[in-house]
């Protein structure tokens, strides 16, 4: 399933999800909440669940590929073989040694991916008929609205620097071998 979600174009997943879960079975709404109140948008789970689930599925599919690759690299390390040779149960080997060490590159990946959420939702916003920041940026490009474009770019740059800082600090906390000097 992760391969399918990773290889599938975003818009195709959105359209299939709308067809199955909104139109055929009527579990969720086919468009996102149209309210301008944040409290109403957060409370309207029926309309907001499908866009959130679809975006989460695509992001997790990409992360699972990186985690699998990192786990395969860690499994080949000598300390995994040593832990198994000492007689540790497989569960402890996987939790203490594999997951802990394979997750370190994921901290950096998540930290660098957060600013992408600022602009990476343009297709989802269009398909689910939701006026978000991606559509604001796209419409500002078409209208040559330079103050909005500059503010959006500045916020993206500040978020990128902050998320890199947070990712570095989290990596330092997670791995005692890494120390900031």
DSSP 177: T
Spatial distance between the Cα atoms of 111 and 170, rounded to a whole number of angstroms: 9
- Residue 50 confidence (pLDDT): 93
The mean pLDDT value for 100-104 works out to 89
- What's the token pair of residue 90? 């497989």
Of 180 and 24, more confident? 24
Of 176 and 88, more confident? 88
DSSP E strands: which ranges in 23-166?
A: none
DSSP 95: I
Q: How many CB atoms lie within 10 A of CB 154?
A: 10
pTM of the model: 0.81
The mean pLDDT value for 93-97 works out to 91
- Residue 174 confidence (pLDDT): 85
168 pLDDT band (50/70/90 cuts)?
confident
Of 160 and 73, more confident? 73
**CB hemisphere CA count around 21 (13 angstroms):** 19
């Amino acid at each position: 399933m992760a391969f399918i979600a990773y290889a599938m174009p975003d818009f195709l997943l959105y359209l299939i999800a709308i067809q199955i879960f909104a139109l055929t079975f009527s579990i969720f709404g086919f468009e996102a909440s149209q309210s301008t109140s944040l409290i109403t948008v957060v409370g309207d789970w029926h309309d907001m669940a499908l866009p959130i689930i679809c975006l989460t599925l695509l992001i997790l599919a990409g992360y699972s590929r990186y985690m699998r690759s990192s786990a395969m690299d860690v499994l080949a390390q000598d300390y995994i073989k040593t832990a198994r040779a000492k007689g540790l149960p497989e569960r402890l080997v996987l939790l203490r040694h594999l997951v802990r060490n394979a997750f370190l590159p994921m901290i950096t990946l998540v930290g660098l991916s957060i600013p992408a959420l600022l602009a990476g939702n343009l297709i989802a916003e269009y398909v689910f008929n939701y006026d978000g920041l991606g559509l604001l940026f796209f419409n500002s490009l078409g209208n040559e609205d330079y103050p909005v474009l500059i503010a959006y770019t500045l916020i993206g740059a500040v978020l990128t620097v902050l998320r890199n800082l947070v990712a570095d600090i989290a990596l330092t906390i997670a791995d005692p071998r890494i120390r900031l000097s």
